[in-house]
Each structure stands twice: as C-alpha cells, then as structure tokens.
Amino acid sequence: MTSHEAMLGVDSLARGTGVAAVEGVEYDSRKVKPGSIFVAMRGEATDGNRFIANAVSCGARVVVTDSREMWERAGEFPEAEFYFSEHGRQALATVSANVFGHPEKSLALSAVTGTNGKTTTSYLLESMLRSLGRTCVLIGTIEYHVGDAVRVSPHTTPESRDVLELFADGVTVGATEAVMEMSSHALEQERVWGLPVDVAIFTNLTQDHLDYHGTMEAYFAAKARLIEGVGTEAPRVAVLNADDVYGERLIRTAGKSQVVSYGMERGDFRAGQVRMRAGKTTFMMTTPHGSVEMQSPLTGRVNVYNLLAASAAAMARGLTLEQVVAGAAAGAQVPGRFQVVPSTNGVTVVVDYAHTDDALRNLIALGRELVAGRGGRVITLFGCGGDRDRTKRPRMGRAAGEGSDLVVLTSDNPRREEPMTIIEEALAGVNETATTCIVEEDRAGAIEIAIRAARPGDIVLIAGKGHEKVQILSDGKIPFDDVAVAAGVLQEMTQ
C-alpha cells in the first residue's frame, strides 16, 4: 500500500509525494516498525506529537500530525512524508480503516452505550447471535472476543486503530457480527469515528464521569452521539429504554433510526410476572412479535432490562422470538456482574461491579428482595475510586446506608488520592442514615469483616470492582480479585 492509498479520505495538508510504501499504522511510537504510518495526536494524558522524532527513528515513513507547528517543522525529518490533519482521531480512524482493508464494511455492528448494563447487554446479545452459529467480535470492559479466541481488554472502547485491527482479525476467522460497548469518553473523543452502527442500544443514564464531562447534559450529549452517528449515518435501528428519562428524550429525537423501545410496563418489549432467585430469573416478555416466557441464569430487575434490550437488538439482527429465548437461556454468568461466590454456610456472597449510586441502590434492592423471604440481612461493602467524580461519593454512601443493615466502607482503586480522604467523603453520606458502618481501609480485611459478620440467611454484597484483577494504588497496581479473596475467607470459615 502507498501512502496515497492509506491517506484516502483524510482531510489533510500534504508534504510528500504519496508514494511511500507503508505496512501498518500506529499511534504509539513504541510500536512503530519500518514502514509504519505514525499518527501523532493530542490525547488526555499526553501529546503524541512529542514522540514524532522517536517514531521516525524507528522507521516511520509517514507522519500524520494534528499539530500545525510540527507539520511546519517537517523539514527536520526529510526521511518521512508529513501530513497535517486538524482532527487527529478522525485521521487515525480513516487511515486505519484504509490500512486494514475496511473490515467494518464486512461486519454488522451492534453498539451499546449507557451508564449501567453495557457489559451484560453486550454479552447477552453476543450469546444470542452465537447460539445461531454466527461468528462474532465482542469488544468491551471485561475482555475482547474474536470468534472463539479471548483477549485481554485494556480499555472498554479502544482507539479506532485497535478496533479495526480486531475487526480485521474477526473477518479473517469468518465473523459477520460485531458487538461493542461504546463509552461516553470514546464517543466524545471520536475513537469510534466512521464505524457504521447497524443497531444501537441505550441502556440508561445516571451520574458518573462528571470529572470528565462536567455536567449531566454534556454526559448525555456524548452518549447521544451513538444515536446520531459518529462520522456515519444514524443507526438503522435504535433500541432505547423507555423507563429512563434520557431514553425518553432519545425516543423523541431519534428520527433517522427505526426506534424500538423497551421497559417494564411500557415500550415495544415489556416484562411481566418477574420471578427471581440467586442464579435464575424468569419473566414473561411481550413483544410486537408475540409473548413468551424468558429464563436466564442472570439475577435481578436490572438484568431484566438487559435481557429486554438484548432481545430487541437480536431481533433487529434477524433472530426469531424462539431463537432469542434459547440464546437467553444459554447465556453464561458475566464475570463480576452479580457473581455468586460458592458458599456452604448459608450466607450468599455476591461480587458486583456497581460503582455509581444508582447501580449500588439497584444492587442493594435486589439483595433485599432475595433475603426478604428468609429474614436475612443485607451487608454491603463498597468503596469509591480515586481521581474520579468526587460528588458521587456521598451519594454512594447514602445509597448504601439507606438500603443496607450493615455497611463496610473500604478502599476501591484510590489511584493518586489518599484512601482515607476518599473514605471520609463517602462516609459523610452513610452518616446521613442510621445504619451502622464499619470502616476498614484494607480491602481484603474489609471483605473478611463483611463475610464474618454475616449469619445464615444474610447476603453480602461486595461492590465496586467486579471483574477487575488488580487494585490501583498511588505507586502502581497490585494483584487483587474480590472473588478470590471472598472465596478464601469462606474456605477458612469451613475449616
């Protein structure tokens, strides 16, 4: 491929002949090889333009920069062609699509956005599609799937170059479908620029990420870009939550897409006669195509919403009602999403990713519902992440205190903040309630306190980190797994 072919569709100013032979594209100078195109762009944490010299020394023969200053200094790097594009991430997406042979055109893409439920809805939809023998690419918070292969997930929504490489790998193994979580950061930063979305799903919107977006309106605007299209036409179908106030707004404004709504009592897909216990949920799903009983190994009303959303999306992708039912029943447990830790002492221990006040409130309500018939208590352990939205900390504390019989407040991922400072801000919310709260900064110690405080019939909810396998501290990451720690405590108690 020539540099001219790689740059097709990129709005740029050129200083080069367009005949350089290129073999790949990178935005990280450490990954540049001879013949690479290096896209230098400004990011959240650093500016890729600082590493142009390093990229050229490693063999980059084409540089695309979003810095006019660096473009004007192109003469300092005579061995490389230079291109200036004002929108660096758009340029990266377009160049990557060209280099990888436009795999996005060979895949029907379903994309999920929202504060809560993205991961579970994505897993459910992939399960339904795979139950018919369709080969899929899955990109999300927990892991990436390329056909049957599972890969580590460094980011919920990676940069466009990495998305397109995953898509290309998927096409190579026969994939025809892709399911992606699209975070608000990725939508606003145009990491998904130019990806044609066939079916878009909006789950809900509650307070989160205001450290980045500033206001709920800005947060909503970022999410809404999925329904509008990011450098592409609007999705063919928009699956929207009719029970969410922001979902209602999208229903009124998503004029270019076919709208399919869902909710408990209203919408095109509705749920009734919900019955649940730990490890199983059953309900009647009413759809424009008829009514049917749904069974799933997932637990809780939040997962009823996720099942409704995935079902509507699956039918938009051509599945029948019977095929949706079969796919839902076959859906496996999603790691860290109401994951029950095996126990033999009559105590139910659950690990869940809930890390907003709304998600925590929903989790606790489900815990309360599960123990109501046996007179059990709800014990909730949680913490708040450092270097994130501080305003949600007391809100999370209040949610935990209002719904629980006992709260254990601990550290989550403190990052660069002092753990006790974070805990004190969350404790202010707990103290607005009458619920007893035990503070233990060490998360492993807190998990042991919570489990040992439980009696037969109680439920212990370990919230916040879910599937994560590390804890992020000021001096780096350490191995940490809520499920493994909880299992260890339970094992010790039986010896």
Whether 438 and 483 map to the same domain: the answer is yes
Only one residue has tokens 């019955």, namely: 275
Least confident interval from 27-31, 195-199, 210-214, 463-467: 210-214
Give the global pTM: 0.85
Query: pLDDT digits over 302-318, tens only?
Result: 899 999 999 999 999 99
- The whole-number pLDDT of residue 495 equals 78
Whether 235 and 147 map to the same domain: the answer is yes
CATH number assigned to the domain comprising residue 482 = 3.90.190.20
Mean pLDDT of the chain: 94
pLDDT band, residue 233 (cuts 50/70/90): very high
- From the list 211, 227, 225, 161, the residue with the least C-alpha distance to 191 is 161
Query: pLDDT digits over 249-299, tens only?
Result: 999 989 889 999 999 989 999 999 999 887 789 999 999 999 999 999 898
pLDDT band, residue 211 (cuts 50/70/90): low
Whether 386 and 237 map to the same domain: the answer is no
- From the list 302, 330, 289, 338, the residue with the least C-alpha distance to 126 is 330
Query: pLDDT digits over 317-329, tens only?
Result: 999 999 999 999 8
Whether 275 and 231 map to the same domain: the answer is yes
Q: Is the pLDDT of residue 91 over 80?
A: yes
- Last residue within a domain, chosen from 279, 295, 330: 330
Q: Is the pLDDT of residue 333 over 80?
A: no
- The whole-number pLDDT of residue 17 equals 86
Cα distances from 145 to residues 142, 163, 297, 344, in angstroms, run 10, 12, 21, 34
Taking a C-beta distance cutoff of 8 angstroms, is the pair 88, 189 a contact? no
- The whole-number pLDDT of residue 214 equals 75
Whether 88 and 150 map to the same domain: the answer is no
- The whole-number pLDDT of residue 209 equals 63
| C-alpha radius of gyration, the chain, whole number | 24
Whether 353 and 323 map to the same domain: the answer is no
The percentage of residues in the chain with a pLDDT greater than 90, rounded to a whole number, is 85
Whether 93 and 113 map to the same domain: the answer is no
- The whole-number pLDDT of residue 44 equals 73
pLDDT band, residue 213 (cuts 50/70/90): low
- The whole-number pLDDT of residue 411 equals 97
Q: Is the pLDDT of residue 479 over 70?
A: yes
Query: pLDDT digits over 108-123, tens only?
Result: 999 999 998 999 999 9
Tally of CB atoms within 10 A around 164: 26
- The whole-number pLDDT of residue 400 equals 98
- The whole-number pLDDT of residue 327 equals 92
Whether 34 and 161 map to the same domain: the answer is no
Whether 25 and 166 map to the same domain: the answer is no
Query: pLDDT digits over 148-174, tens only?
Result: 999 988 887 899 999 999 999 999 999
- The whole-number pLDDT of residue 210 equals 63
Q: What is the span of the domain harbouring residue 87?
A: 3-99
Q: Is the pLDDT of residue 3 over 90?
A: yes
Query: pLDDT digits over 379-421, tens only?
Result: 999 999 999 889 999 999 999 999 999 999 999 999 999 999 9
Whether 283 and 324 map to the same domain: the answer is yes
- The whole-number pLDDT of residue 28 equals 95
The percentage of residues in the chain with a pLDDT greater than 70, rounded to a whole number, is 98
Whether 73 and 119 map to the same domain: the answer is no
CATH number assigned to the domain comprising residue 202 = 3.40.1190.10
CATH number assigned to the domain comprising residue 32 = 3.40.1390.10
- Last residue within a domain, chosen from 74, 99, 124: 99
- Last residue within a domain, chosen from 309, 330, 351: 330
Number of domains within the chain: 3
Whether 171 and 286 map to the same domain: the answer is yes
- The whole-number pLDDT of residue 154 equals 83
- From the list 374, 367, 372, the residue with the least C-alpha distance to 400 is 367
What does the H/E/C string look like for the chain? CEHHHHCCCCCCEEECCCCCECCEEECCHHHCCCCEEEEECECCCCEHHHHHHHHHHCCCCEEEECCHHHHHCHHHCCCCEEEECCCHHHHHHHHHHHHCCCHHHHCEEEEEECCCCHHHHHHHHHHHHHCCCCCEEEECCCEEEECCEEEECCCCCCCHHHHHHHHHHHHHCCCCEEEEECCHHHHHCCCCCCCCEEEEEECCCCCCCHHHHCCHHHHHHHHHHHHHCCCCCCCCEEEEECCCHHHHHHHHHCCCCEEEEEECCCCCEEEEEEEEECCEEEEEEEECCEEEEEEECCCCHHHHHHHHHHHHHHHHCCCCHHHHHHHHHHCCCCCCCCEEECCCCCCEEEEECCCCHHHHHHHHHHHHHHHHHHCCCEEEEECCCCCCCCCHHHHHHHHHHHHCCEEEECCCCCCCCCHHHHHHHHHHHHCCCCCEEEECCCHHHHHHHHHHCCCCCCEEEEECCCCCCEEEECCEEEECCHHHHHHHHHHHHHC
